[in-house]
Amino acid sequence: MKYLELLFTCSALTTSVLTANAQKSAPNLVFIMADQYRGDALSCLGKEPVKTPCLDQLASEGVLFTDAISSYPVSSPARGMLMTGMYPLSNKVVGNCNSNTAPYGVELPQDARCWSDVLKDQGYQTGYIGKWHLDAPYKPYVDTYNNRGKVAWNEWCPPERRHGFDHWIAYGTYDNHLKPMYWNTTAPRDSFYYVNQWGPAYEADRAIEYIKAQNKQQPFALVVSMNPPHTGYELVPDHYKEMYKDLDVEALCKNRPDIPAKGTKMGDYFRNSIRNYYACVTGVDENIGRIVEALKQNGLFNNTIVVFTSDHGVCMGAHQNDGKNIFYEESMRIPMIISWPEKIKPRKDNNLMIAFADLYPSLLSMMGFQKEIPEAVQTFDLSKEILTGKKRNLVQPYYRVEANNHATGYRGLRTATYTYAVHATDGKIDEVFLFDRTQDPHQMNNIAGKQPKLISKFNKQLHAWLIQTNDSFSCIIKP
């Protein structure tokens, strides 16, 4: 295949001149994310009956963050924040990239300086494999099944919009996990191809080829973006389903008051989905294990920063919500493991509330490029905390934005113990939420009406944050 020929040809060549920082000793980066992966779905945490032996092993070799979150738990906005280090109103990705939001310019700006642009300029080889979902569909729409309905979702990413990624085996968004589709590095818009293989397995195969082809004289950064366990839960190989056929779902629901009763729409949705969801998680785990093993076999693991995380979680029926895009823990909480044996001692970190988008400045700083971080970056540089385990008390933002009306939607804050959010419609606040997650871990009781002092405190903090980040929603919040 042409993309394989290109891969090995490019990998055989080295850049004649590297910047002073990107020398032989510079760390590699392998960034793996799995879409819609809940924060508690790791067997080493002991909270959900899921099997993840490979991720458990990676967690034992690195840092397992137990309080990682997604500040805007939806695919495109979360990815937009990750790539730019800016919050939605600044990076323009205020909602999912599709034909409904396209008229409002919702896509990753071509002139944004992403962390991948920085690494490319520092002499890194760069590769992207899997789901991208940062381009707005345009007519005539690409002829895939998810572009034939009322809303078009999928779009090709042209080379000039790939933000420094040389090697490209990717797609916009496409949820047929058992027959995924891709564009390779040189393919034009009308030349995608389908694969009769489960998406994560195919993507792991391509990642392993990429890793094996590295010349070890030039550092590399590789993103592997897997779609499962995104919806399409049933589209997973049968041998993973077999592992959960005897799971006692009612026992799982027994201590979860946020899961509706059996016989209700959302209660049944959870019960009908959870086994397949876990099957997807275990399948993702196995293929991540294959990628990590390839790093070890090729002598690259010790000086490679390996990140595993997700763009967001999913309620899957909890709180009467089948999806994400809400402030509940099932949606906001994500897994996060960072391994770098040469620099980081293994530990379980229960103290640091780190957000998906904080990885932009944090990773660049860890890799020695702190001075290259653009001034426009708004997210937190937590490199010192990641490397040393130093504690830092943070308040993280929460967003949900309407593409056509920025005066409608949610803004909020998440602290170590509280979740606070306000909703406005056309510039007027109509709902306020406050949950004490220490006393009420399942977020069943909105105590906003009982805590006026806390509401006042968080309101002031939120107003200050919105002003600091140039968010017009600040005009709605009255401190």
Residue 331 resides in a domain: yes
Decide if 411 is inside a domain: yes
Mark whether 375 and 445 lie in a shared domain.
no
| Residue where one domain finishes, among candidates 363, 394, 425 | 394
Nearest to 183 by CA among 159, 207, 164: 159
Residue 19 tokens, joined: 């910047």
pLDDT digits (tens, 9 = 90+) for 12-39: 444 434 444 445 589 999 999 999 999 9
Last residue in a domain, options 343, 374, 394: 394
Decide if pLDDT at 353 tops 70: yes
Structure tokens, 76: 């495109």
- Rounded percentage of the chain residues whose pLDDT exceeds 70: 95
Q: Is residue 399, in this structure, part of any structural domain at all?
A: no
Same-domain pairing of 179 and 50 = yes
Mean pLDDT of the chain: 95
* Residue 18 maps to a domain: no
**pLDDT band for position 8 (50/70/90)?**
very low
- On whether both 189 and 306 belong to a single domain, the answer is yes
For residue 428, the domain's CATH number is 3.30.1120.10
Residue 135 tokens, joined? 């381009």
Q: Give the Cβ contact number of residue 293 at 10 Å.
A: 15
pLDDT > 90? residue 1: no
Whether 372 is covered by a domain: the verdict is yes
Q: Are residues 385 and 423 in the same domain?
A: no
pLDDT tens column, 405-441: 999 999 999 999 999 999 999 999 999 999 999 999 9
What is the DSSP pairing of strand 63-69 with strand 347-349?
parallel
440 and 344 in a common domain: no
89 C-beta neighbours (distance < 10 Å), count: 17
* H/E run at residue 304: strand 304-309
User: Can you tell me the distance from the alpha carbon of 380 to that of 382, in angstroms, rounded to the nearest whole number?
Assistant: 6
Asked whether residue 20 is domain-assigned, the answer is no
Asked if residue 363 and residue 234 are part of one domain, the reply reads: yes
Residue 133, CA distances (Å) to 96, 204, 225 in order: 8, 19, 10
Structure confidence at residue 9 (pLDDT):
43
Residues 245 and 335 in one domain: yes
Alpha carbon distance 457, 466 (integer Å): 15
Structural domain count of the chain = 2
Q: Percentage of the chain with pLDDT > 90?
A: 94
Same domain, 275 and 416: no
Please write the tens of the pLDDT for every residue from 387-400: 999 999 999 999 99
DSSP 183: B
Q: What is the pLDDT of residues 120-179, one digit of tens each?
A: 999 999 999 999 999 999 999 999 999 999 999 999 999 999 999 999 999 999 999 999
Question: Is 23 part of any domain?
Answer: no
pLDDT tens for 300-352 read 999 999 999 999 999 999 999 999 999 999 999 999 999 999 999 999 999 99
Of 394, 426, 441, the last residue of a domain is 394
| Confidence band of 216 (pLDDT split at 50, 70, 90) | confident
Supply the CATH number for residue 333's domain.
Answer: 3.40.720.10
**321 in the same domain as 172:** yes
Per-residue pLDDT tens for 356-383? 999 999 999 999 999 999 999 999 999 9
Are residues 333 and 452 both part of a single domain? no
Q: Residue 105 sits in which domain range?
A: 2-12+29-394
Note whether 151 and 200 are same-domain residues. yes
Contact yes or no for 65/308 (Cβ under 8 A)? no
Enter the pTM of the model.
0.94
Co-location of 447 and 379 in the same domain: no
Residue 175: predicted pLDDT: 97
Domain membership flag for residue 19: no
